Chains A and B, each alone.
Chain A
Amino acid sequence: MASVEQSPGGASRKAGIQTWLKRIFVRLGILPFLIVIAVIVFTAMSDNFLTGRNLMNILRQSVYLTIVSLGQMLTLLTGGFDLSVGTIVALSSVVGAVVMASVYSAMPDAVYLAIALGFFAGVLAGSLIGVVNAAGVAFFNVSPFMMSLGMASVGFGIALYLTGGVPVYGLPIEFSDVFGFGNFLGIPSPIWIAGLIVVALWVYLYKTPQGRHFYAVGGNIKAAKLSGINVRGTLFQAYVLCAALAATAGMLLTARLDTGDANIGASMPLESIAACVIAGVALRGGVGRLENVVLGALFIGLVQNGMNLARIESYLQTVMLGGLLILAVIADQIRLRYVASLKD
């Protein structure tokens, strides 16, 4: 008997590691595995990858996607999604730039007034797209897919119409100096702003009742309603906040580019959904952590940066990104199967 019990020692250790990995996978999803693999691969492919400077670069480049993904996460949590985030980025950039440039040219002395008005106008314009999305989803029960797809077209059309398809120039140099290339304590200003947003949203999501309501509505909309939660108000907030965050990213991107452009943000819907899904946010709603979404967005930034350093052609990068998204969804399905097999 004893020998029978002892002999599978090696095998059981292997099985132990396997169940351990499986548990990590079930708990945290596929992201930790992907990050480890990506870091190993890119470090091997390029000497410049794992340097402090490059890591800071990745952080700075990922800021825009991170902010948009946080918004996207809110809509995903409630069981929907927003395909119009790209349009919102574009529209806020164009409207913000037009307002800023015209105020600046009318009153060249009031630089900061121009910046403030422009920034505000851009965020407001983007948020209005969110208000329309929100109204459709929350009050008319339009599916988020149709609503945000429709608004993506509407917003993009408006952005092009406003500018005739031409980039908007003439922004005060201070705008891009502060919000695009600024530095504080050695850390680029966009990172500070993203950091502030992350902290504020974390507090909102996890420390206030309203934050919990996002999870409840996505977890079971009927149960949420019967528990006295304002379901429509919660859906409304999700889409408006999502748009406001995307618009903020749009203004930061405008500062970085020093132009208002209707053609930025086209990849945002795919990338932001990818960042969330890779981070374990469930497309069904109700599941997902903000910390992980930040990591998810950073991971996509990391992959893009790594592929650039490894001189992978940009067209192929697009292929990679789509592949990663699908891989993440498949992994989520496998995870669900494991979860299902965990219960009786």
Chain B
Amino acid sequence: MPAPLLATRAITKDYPGVRALDRVDFDLREGEVHVLFGENGAGKSTLISMLSGANRPTSGHIEFKGTVAELNSVHHARELGISAVFQEFSLVPQLTVEQNLFLGAEHRGGLFLKASGMRREAKQLLDDLDFHIDPKAQVYRLSRAEQQMVEIAKAFRSELSVLILDEPTASLTDHEADQLFRLIEDLTGRGVGIIYITHRIAEIERIADRITVLRDGRYVTTIEASDADEDRLVELMTGREVGAIFPSLPTMDPGEEILRLEDLWTQDETLCGVNMSIRRGEIVGCAGLVGSGKSEALQAAFGALPFSSGTVIYKGERVAQPKPGRSIRSGFMYLPADRHDAGLMLERPARENFSVAALDLPPFRNGLFLSGRGERQRAAELATALNLSPNQPERTLDHFSGGNQQKVMLGRSLTRPVDLAVFDEPTVGVDMGTRQAIYAFIANLAQKGAAVVIVSSDLPEILHLTHRAYIFYRGRIQAELAGSDLTEEAALANFFEQDAA
């Protein structure tokens, strides 16, 4: 058997106080798609950061084409033909596509840039990959998917032999993802090895050749994709048998109406006449494409987005101008989609991130003053209830994995009485085990009599976790589906324009 394209031998990475990766052996063959699978914090990111030259191992070594390779920098790895595309892009938004493609490796004649040569080559590169992107476009004008294509194109600047993709489809539409998979097929045909990180089982079934599972920084096993199914993978990942991902829904009859939106419009027409009604004890889904208004409708009702006309009726009373503060005090909680951008204070302890929306109430408050003891106690309870790992509420949040950060944010809905909770993309970038915990948590909230709204781009979530769903299309509600009508076909059919007439 020939030497693997890229391999790690007992690779270990220590950070002060933490062993992020513990003697992991991993190998990548030519022309295969090798999926790295594991919970958030299992060590996947650490592993690829070393394979891409961004970090160096504490011990153990990396072999490239059979010889030991010291990857000193990302640049060095790239020269060898190892390129990584991370979730956070390394693009300069203000520069054009071609400027980004040659960033750090500009062609020059003497002191000056050779613009025409780079332009030609950029065009060639994009054409070869069949990416329809204007090389002169500024990157910030491109969609997420297009930016990702630029990032991938960048990897092709030099002769490519290993491509590392970190959850590449997280922000892609299905169509764009198909395009990416075709590209991957093409690459593996040429002998390029692909290391692919994903949480999505469907993707694994579709493109993976082998799967390596990591858990708590340790190597668990490597299996052939043909031997893998969802249950097995989840079991390997979590180290225990996991029941169904989705909990059974609370079956009580919906109670009184709690929120009603009538003909809601925004100035920029993200919303064009939305009507909704939400009742106690039910879980309502909002689905649709990005920009369809599914998330904005609830933001407007909460007070995070101004609306130009229409009526918001909360608990039977008209709210002329909703404000987040007032909404929260009257039991309406909105938990945003992007936890880093709008949800969490990463440099503050988990405890403060729990309590931030409830400082006006006991146990966090005692008369005029904060109650340090009450706060610590409640935070500890929440951390335990949510299975926060590590269970250290005083740790600053940037020292938790993404899934645990998400738990902290969602835990806010337990810090005060909530009548209506809106979860906007509650499981983005969250592993299977945490996802299951979050679903149980949401179902439990509804069971206790709160109204719950789930805004999600993940259709299974809408299908299995909601009683009723609104499907948004271009700022309107295109369909309302409930019970047995709530099927994948029915939902998808309404994601797009309905009557061409």
User: Which residues of A line the B interface, CB within 8 A?
Assistant: 19, 22-23, 26, 203, 206-209, 211-213, 215-216, 219-220, 222-230, 282, 284, 286-287, 338-344
Contact = CB atoms under 8 A, between A and B. Distances in A.
Given A207-B369, A223-B343, A227-B324, 10 more contacts: A22-B16, A208-B368, A209-B364, A211-B370, A212-B370, A222-B342, A228-B324, A228-B326, A338-B16, A342-B399
B20 interface: yes
A28 to B, nearest CB: 14
B408 to A, nearest CB: 11
B16 A220 contact: no
Contact of B329 (A226, A228, A282, A342): A228
Given A212-B352, A227-B324, A344 B345 contact: no
A125 B45 CA distance: 55
25 contacts: A22-B16, A206-B370, A207-B369, A209-B360, A212-B356, A212-B370, A213-B359, A216-B348, A220-B346, A222-B342, A226-B324, A226-B343, A227-B357, A227-B412, A284-B347, A286-B347, A286-B348, A287-B348, A338-B16, A339-B398, A341-B15, A341-B16, A344-B15, A344-B41, A344-B46
B341 A222 contact: yes
Contacts of A215: 345, 348, 352
A277 to B, nearest CB: 15
A317 B329 CA distance: 53
B336 interface: yes
Contacts of B368: 208
Contacts of A223: 336, 342-345, 356
B348 A219 contact: yes
A344 B16 contact: no
Contacts of B372: 206-207
| Cβ-closest 5 pairs across A and B | A219-B345, A228-B328, A228-B325, A227-B357, A209-B359
B334 interface: yes
Nearest to B396: A339
Contact of B356 (A227, A282, A287): A227
A286 B345 CA distance: 8
Interface in B282-335: 302, 304, 324-329, 334
Nearest to A285: B347
B304 A282 contact: no
Nearest to B360: A209
Given A212-B370, A219-B348, A228 B327 contact: yes
B23 interface: no
B365 interface: yes
A89 to B, nearest CB: 31
A340 B18 CA distance: 12
Contacts of A340: 398
Contacts of A222: 336, 341-343
A343 B404 CA distance: 13
B345 A216 contact: yes
Nearest to B332: A228
A78 to B, nearest CB: 12
